[in-house]
Structure 1
Amino acid sequence: MTTLFDSHRLGELTLPNRVVMAPMSRVRAAAGGLATPSMATYYAQRATAGLIVTEGVQPSLIGQSNPGTPGLHTAEQTAAWRPVTAAVHANGGRIFAQIMHGGRVSHPDTTGYQPVGPSAVPATGEVFTPTGPQPMPVPRALETAEVPEHARSFAEAARRAVDAGFDGVELHGANGFLISQFLSSNANLRTDRYGGSVANRIRFAVEAAAATVEAVGSVRTGIRLSPGGTFFGVAEEDVPELYAALLAELARLDLAYVHLEATTEEEVLLDLRRAWPGTLIVNPTFPLGPKQTGRTEADHWLGLGAELISFGRAFIANPDLVERLRLGAPIAPVDEATLYQGGDAGYLTYPAYQHAS
C-alpha cells in the first residue's frame, strides 16, 4: 500500500515523500510585491515537504487581491524570489509558485485599478485593503478582446517564476478568484465565447493553462481547483459536468498535476480521480474549516487513489510536519492571530518537535 513517505515522480522531479505544502497567503511581502529574506527562511524551514506550493503570487498589478502579497510581473520581483528558491533548494526541497489573479476579489485602494471579472457582478463579503476590510466593489466586465491577455498573464508570470528558480507553477483556479469566476454560473453571465455553456465557461482556464504549458512546459505546470466551492459568492450549478469537461481538456495538455480541494461530495471527487489520468493532489479537508488535515485524512485519500496529499495550516505551526507525521508526534496548533499580522512572530518562530528525553 502506498504511504505518505514513498517517493513519487512528478514531471522531471523525484519527490522524496507525498506530502505537499499547500499554498497559503501570509501577506509578508515587502512594498512593491517583493519577496523578503524572511520568506526565504519560512519556505526553507519547510523544505522537507515533497513539494512546496507558495502563497498566491499575482501575475499583474490588476491581478493583486490583497495588500502585502508578492508578485511575479516585474524584474525586481523576479530577482527578489531568487534567494527564496535558492534557500529551498539548498535545504533539499522543491518549490512551485502559485500564480493567482484575484479578478473581482480586489479593490482600487490596493491596486489603483477597478477590479476586472467575467461580468459586472461583485463578489460577496469584504476584501482586505491597506485601510482594512471593505465591501467588494463592482468589477469591470472584461471585453472579449481583453480576456486572452489575462489568460496570458499566467504564462508570463510562469516564465518569470522559472527565471527566478522555481521548479514549476500552479495556476490558482480555485476559491473564487479569476479562473474560478469564469467557471462559475453566477459570477460569469457572459454571452460570448467565454460564457454560458460548460464548454465556454472552461475556456479561460484552458487558455491560461495552454499558454503556461507553451511558456514553461507541461512538466512545470499544475492547477488547483475547488469543485463546487462557494468562496466569495461563486456558484457552480453543474459541478460533475463542468469539471469532467475541464479535466478532459487539461488532460490534452498533459499537466504535471491537478490539485483538488475537498469542496464537494467525495463521490464527485472520486469521479474526477477516475477522469484525470495524471498525478492528483488532494487537500482532504475543507479550506479554513474547523478541522485540519492529519494522517488519517491523508491515508484515506491515498487509499482512494490520490498520489499526493496537501496540508495547509498544519505546515504553518509545524515546519517539520513530515517528520511529525512519520513519528506520529503531536501537531502543534496555529496561532490564528499571527496569520496575517506581518513580521516574523508566528511566521519564523514555530519550533521543530522536541523529543522527550
Structure 2
Amino acid sequence: MGSIDVIDPLFEPLRLGALSLSHRIVQAPCTRMRSSKESDGVFVPNALNVEYYSQRASEGGLLLTEATPISRLAAGYPGVPGIFTLSQIAGWKKVTDAVYAKGGFILCQLWHVGRATVPSFIEGKQAVGASNIPISGNALDGSEYGASPPRAMTVEEIQNVVEEYATASKRAIEAGFDGVEIHGANGYLLDQFLHDNVNIRTDEYGGSIEKRPRIILEVLKACAAAIGADRVGIRLSPYNYFQDTRDSRPHANWKLLCSKIANLATESRPAYVHMFEPRFDEVLDESAKIDSLAVEKPSLDVFRSTLKKSGILFLAAGNFNAKNAGPKLIGDGADAVVFGRYFISNPDLPWRLREGFLLTPYDRTTFYGADPPQKGYTDYPIYG
C-alpha cells in the first residue's frame, strides 16, 4: 500500500443521460474473449463473465461492456459474447443483475467489425466495409486480410445494419442494460466510414467530409428512437491509427462530425460522446504518437466544446491513472474519465483511488484470453 492524493473531482456525482452516477470513474469497454462457445460464431456470457463484471461494479458507478456483436456476421471473433440470440440475452441478464445487486450501472457496447474479420469467422462469407480496401497483416485465424478483401456495402446493406443496431439496442434493454454505447471507433465498421484512407465511396455515404458521417448519424437516430436518446452514447477515436485507419484531416473531420451530432434533434441527440486522448495508441508510445500526428497540438478540447453547447457530456479515455485523471476534470476537459487497463488489474479501482492505494500493475499477456480463463481476468486482488 502506498500514498496517493485523493482526487476529489472523480467522486462528484454526475447525471449522465438517464443515469445518476455517484462518481466519474468509468470502466472502459475491453475485449477479453472469455465467453462460452454455444455454436460456431455464437458465444454466450458465462459465470466467469458474471463474476468479472460484478467485481468491478460499485455503488453508482458505470461499467461499459466489452464490444458486443450486433449480429452473427458482425464479428465472429472467438470468445466474444454477442447480443443477437436468446441465450446471449439470458447470459447478459445474469451479468446486469449482478451489477445492479452492487448498486452499479452498465451499458452494452454495440459492435460491428466490418472489414476487420475474415470468412472463417463469419460462416465463409466475405467481410463488408465502407470500401473494398483490406486491412494489412493477419487475422486471428492466421490468414492475411488481403487474401480475402472486404466488399463495399450496398446502400441497402448499410440501411439494414443501421436497423440491426436499433434492434440490438432493444435486446440490450431486454437483457437488463441501462442503455448502449455505439462503437464508432478503433477502425471497426462505423469508423471505417469516417476515414478518407478507407472510405473511397462516391455515393451519399462517402466521397466528402460532409457525407462520410452519415451512417453514424443514422445509427444514433435509430438507436435513440428504439430506446430513448438518454440511454445512448457513442465512442469515437479521431486520432487513432488502429487497423489502418488514418484520416488526412482528423481535426476538421471529427469537429464536423461532433457539430452534426450536436445539431441532432433533441430526441436523437446522444447522452454522451466518448473519445480517446491523442496520446493513446495500441502500438506507438505516447511521445511517438504525438509526433506522428500532423495536427498541431492535437487535443480533444475542440470536440468537447462543440458538444457541450448542446448539453452532450464528454467521456475521455486513454492512458489515465491516479495522477492525471483528476486534472482532466478540473480543467473541464471531460465530464468523466474512462479507465481500461487499470480497471482490468484493479477490480475495486474507484475504492483504491478514493483511499489512495497504489494500483496493481496489469499483465498484457492475459488481456485477450488466458489458460486458465480466470488468469488475468477474475484473479486480481480486491481490497475495497
TM range (shorter): over 0.9
Aligned mate of 1:340, from 352, 358, 368:
368
Contact 1:96 1:167 in 2 (8 A): yes
- In the alignment, which residue of structure 1 is the partner of 2:95? 84
CA distance in 1, matches of 2:303, 2:206: 23
- In the alignment, which residue of structure 1 is the partner of 2:197? 186
What is the CA-CA distance between 1:299 and the residue it aligns to?
1.6
Aligned mate of 2:128, from 92, 95, 116:
116
Matches within 5 A, 1:145-184: 145-184=156-195
Aligned mate of 2:277, from 247, 254, 262:
262
CA distance in 1, matches of 2:143, 2:343: 29
- In the alignment, which residue of structure 1 is the partner of 2:292? none
Instruction: State whether structure 2 residue 46 is matched by structure 1 residue 18.
Output: no
List gaps (5 residues or longer) in structure 1: 286-292
What is the CA-CA distance between 1:166 and the residue it aligns to?
0.2
Residue type matched to 2:14 in 1? Answer: H
State, as a whole percentage, how many aligned pairs show the same letter. 38
Matches within 5 A, 1:4-153: 4-31=10-37, 32-48=42-58, 50-64=61-75, 66-112=77-123, 113-129=125-141, 133-136=142-145, 137-153=148-164
Instruction: State whether structure 2 residue 315 is matched by structure 1 residue 281.
Output: yes
CA distance in 2, matches of 1:242, 1:159: 30
In terms of mean alpha carbon deviation, does 305-314 or 293-302 score higher? 293-302
Instruction: State whether structure 2 residue 342 is matched by structure 1 residue 327.
Output: no
Contact 2:278 2:298 in 1 (8 A): no
CA distance in 1, matches of 2:351, 2:35: 28
Deviations 1:259-298, CA, capped at 9 Å, x for gaps: 010136665311111101221000143xxxxxxx212221
Task: Find the residue that maps to 1:197 and give its secondary structure.
Answer: coil
Contact 1:66 1:110 in 2 (8 A): yes
Residue type matched to 1:273 in 2? Answer: R
- In the alignment, which residue of structure 2 is the partner of 1:290? none
Contact 2:278 2:299 in 1 (8 A): no
Residue type matched to 2:329 in 1? Answer: L
Contact 1:66 1:127 in 2 (8 A): no
Q: Which runs of 4+ in 1 moved over 6 A?
A: none
CA distance in 2, matches of 1:80, 1:24: 18
Residue type matched to 2:48 in 1? Answer: S
Deviations 1:87-108, CA, capped at 9 Å, x for gaps: 0001111000000100000111
- In the alignment, which residue of structure 2 is the partner of 1:301? 328
Task: Find the residue that maps to 1:9 and give its secondary structure.
Answer: strand
Residue type matched to 1:295 in 2? Answer: A
Task: Find the residue that maps to 1:309 and give its secondary structure.
Answer: strand
Residue type matched to 1:38 in 2? Answer: L
Residue type matched to 2:364 in 1? Answer: E
Residue type matched to 2:271 in 1? Answer: A
Residue type matched to 1:311 in 2? Answer: F
CA distance in 2, matches of 1:152, 1:85: 24
Contact 1:115 1:140 in 2 (8 A): yes
CA distance in 2, matches of 1:152, 1:215: 10
What is the CA-CA distance between 1:317 and the residue it aligns to?
0.9
Q: TM-score, normalised by structure 2?
A: 0.86
Task: Find the residue that maps to 1:244 and give its secondary structure.
Answer: helix
Contact 2:277 2:318 in 1 (8 A): yes
List gaps (5 residues or longer) in structure 2: 1-6, 280-294
Q: TM-score, normalised by structure 1?
A: 0.92
CA distance in 2, matches of 1:226, 1:125: 21
- In the alignment, which residue of structure 2 is the partner of 1:200? 211
